[in-house]
Chains A and B, each alone.
Chain A
Amino acid sequence: MQELSDKLKAPLTDLLLSIADDKLMLGHGASDWTGLAPILEEDIAFSAISQEEIAHAAALYEVVGTMHGRSADAVAFGREPSAYRCAELTSLGDDFDWSRAIVRQLFCDHFDLLRFERLARSLLKSVAALSKRIGAEEATHVEHADVWLIRLGRGGDESKTRAQAALNALSGAAAMLFEPTDGVDVLEREGIYPAGEGSLFDRWQEDVGRVVAEAGLTLEVVPSPADAVGGRRGRHGESFTGLLDEMCEVYRVEPEAAW
């Protein structure tokens, strides 16, 4: 990686962690469906997506680990809860309701695709190259979520009701995906995380709104106040800490040991 000034290192760490932690939590939640999904073929497909989410996270942890002289596993499993930068949405349980699992993916995948589009234009060549590769797979996740929402929205009364309920239930948490990580403005100015046309929020609303409309559903997401503090700055709820404890159960038995 190109030499980074100390001024940029901390904001970049936060930004990359916000993406990696989102993906780890999301992949973690999705992977729990393996063996239990509503259709066998979908079980395989959704499990493949969960693996990609975790693999994306692993690649980003590798970058962060290299910056800080730690292993990717130590970064993934060995931090205090307040050092995680994921948004609450990614750690919200789905109660084994397929519509919630799909809406959670839909919101996060569209958001990730936009982040990777920006990072793919980063002046940091290694980050740009990695983001291009991840972004290509992210596009397939987006398509998967889009098609499912459309199928659910158009799949009869019960399905439509459930899909709408899931959109309503998760719309509140969706707004906090956009909470800025510390120092993100510096990264934008320096061309490490170049801003695109329009705000992330507006573009996301447009992309997701198009799919929601095609599914015959509705969605209203109210932007969070600028000073709202959440997961991007280390403030987490019980859904996150519970998930983290479970994820680290074996790792913490002997953190120094190889498993």
Chain B
Amino acid sequence: MSAGVTSSEELRIDWKIQEDPDRMAAFQAHIDAKGLVEADDWMPHNYRVGMLRMAEHHANSEIVGALPEGEWITRAPSLRRKLALVAKVQDEVGHGQMLYRTSQDLGKSRDQMLRDLVTGKTRYHNVFNYPAPTWADVAMIQWLVDGAAILNQKSLAEGSYGPYVRTMKRINMEEAFHFKSGEDMVLTLMSGTKRQRQMAQEAFDRWWGPCLMFFGPPDRESTKTGPFMTWRIKTATNDTLREAYVDRFAPAARALGLNIHLARKNPDGLIAVKADGTPDKIEDPLIRLDESTGHWGFTQPDWDEFYRVIGGDGPCNKQRVALRRFSYEQGRWVRQAVMGCAGLPPSRN
């Protein structure tokens, strides 16, 4: 089904490529008419590569995103939470599998994508480079990070590439469980003991900044009008999504009794401590509803930190990639064994 794009040379964005003008016009008209593109359709080279990169990055993010919460599977504090967390992390792997498949059909092998991921040639979402040092972080990841992911993925489900759009819709249905489960955990902690509420606040302080960064850096004019927008590979701007996110989560957090802080972080991702032993944080003075616009104000996150972390120098970058690499290397003999042992008939049919 996939067109045979294989070499990495062919998988580069190249704006100098001259596409057939008639085909380009018809392609753009199809997209402007809200049409969907299917794997078998003709598509411009840069559309294919742009879509592949986005789906591959998304798949990588699901696979690496399984790691921070995966650390807590063995410590979940009740049978129900344990089951839910295993199921949630399993879903992330399932999403990765579906998104790699979407990418494979655009022309890159899954193995190559996994190899590129574990050798640092391709990236995954920045938010997974932060640590989850307590159980409350699991709650905050499922509420705040999955909440951000849903907002983003709902907009991506409005995109133009059919297989990716269908995968987004499917993923969102499962994210609904993650989000509800996250809400349930946060609500439980915030209606619990003093110690539990404090755990929740501390985890919230760690995740609020990375969640504001989740949607990417502030928009430049070029990104709002570039080909990825006109082709509907991207459907909403970073700032629009960020604003919608704060409008939803800032009042919800405050209603729960969580304070939104500006916090100074150590290189390990934990909140720095002042000389007097208290956390180095102040309440964000801009958090309030602007009656005239209907939107909530907020202080921009530390964009220097964002670029530092995305450049590889975040609290957990090395550890995440190394663990994923360990899995790839340890699994090699198993994959070789099953490839060499193909041909078992299905037993129940």
Q: Do A and B bind each other?
A: yes
- Chain A positions near chain B (C-beta within 8 angstroms): 28, 31-32, 34-41, 43-44, 47-48, 50-51, 54-55, 57-58, 61, 72-73, 76-77, 96-98, 143, 147, 150-152, 154-156, 158-159, 162, 246-247, 249-251, 253-254, 257-259
13 A-B pairs, CB-CB below 8 angstroms?
A: A35-B66, A35-B92, A44-B97, A47-B90, A51-B86, A58-B80, A58-B83, A97-B330, A155-B340, A159-B336, A247-B74, A250-B75, A254-B196
Contact B195 A254 (CB under 8 A): yes
What are the 8 tightest A-B residue pairs by CB atom distance, in nearest-first order?
A: A155-B337, A38-B331, A35-B66, A159-B337, A38-B334, A250-B77, A47-B90, A259-B77
Contact A253 B195 (CB under 8 A): yes
Q: Which residue of A lies closest to B339 (CB)?
A: A155
Q: How far apart are the CA atoms of A246 and B80 in the complex, in Å?
A: 17
Contact B87 A51 (CB under 8 A): yes
Residues of chain B from 299 to 349 with CB closer than 8 A to chain A in the complex = 323, 326-327, 330-338, 340-341, 344, 347-348
Contact A47 B336 (CB under 8 A): no
Contact of A251 among B63, B70, B78, B196 (CB under 8 A): B78
Contacting residues, chain B, for A247 (C-beta < 8 A): 74-75
Q: How far apart are the CA atoms of A38 and B78 in the complex, in Å?
A: 28
Contact A35 B89 (CB under 8 A): yes
Contact B93 A34 (CB under 8 A): yes
Chain A nearest CB, measured from B344 CB (Å): 7
Q: How far apart are the CA atoms of A86 and B326 in the complex, in Å?
A: 31
Contact B90 A48 (CB under 8 A): yes
Q: How far apart are the CA atoms of A154 and B81 in the complex, in Å?
A: 39
Chain A nearest CB, measured from B87 CB (Å): 6
- Chain B positions near chain A (C-beta within 8 angstroms): 63, 66-67, 70, 73-83, 86-87, 89-90, 92-94, 96-97, 100, 110, 135, 185, 188-189, 192-193, 195-196, 323, 326-327, 330-338, 340-341, 344, 347-348
Contact B192 A54 (CB under 8 A): no
Q: Which residue of A lies closest to B73 (CB)?
A: A31
> Is chain B's interface secondary structure helix, strand, loop, or mixed overall?
helix
Contact A39 B331 (CB under 8 A): yes
Contact B75 A44 (CB under 8 A): no
Q: Which residue of A lies closest to B78 (CB)?
A: A73
Contact B75 A40 (CB under 8 A): no
Q: Which residue of A lies closest to B98 (CB)?
A: A40
Contact A55 B86 (CB under 8 A): no
If A47-B93, A98-B331, A155-B341 touch, whether A77 touches B78 (CB-CB below 8 Å) is yes
Q: Which residue of A lies closest to B70 (CB)?
A: A35
Q: How far apart are the CA atoms of A39 and B89 in the complex, in Å?
A: 15
Contacting residues, chain B, for A39 (C-beta < 8 A): 331, 334-335, 338
Contact B74 A28 (CB under 8 A): yes
Contact A35 B93 (CB under 8 A): yes
Contact of B75 among A41, A246, A257 (CB under 8 A): A246
Q: Which residue of B lies closest to A35 (CB)?
A: B66
Contact B97 A251 (CB under 8 A): no
Q: Which of A54, A72, A143 counts the most chain B CB atoms within 10 A? A: A54
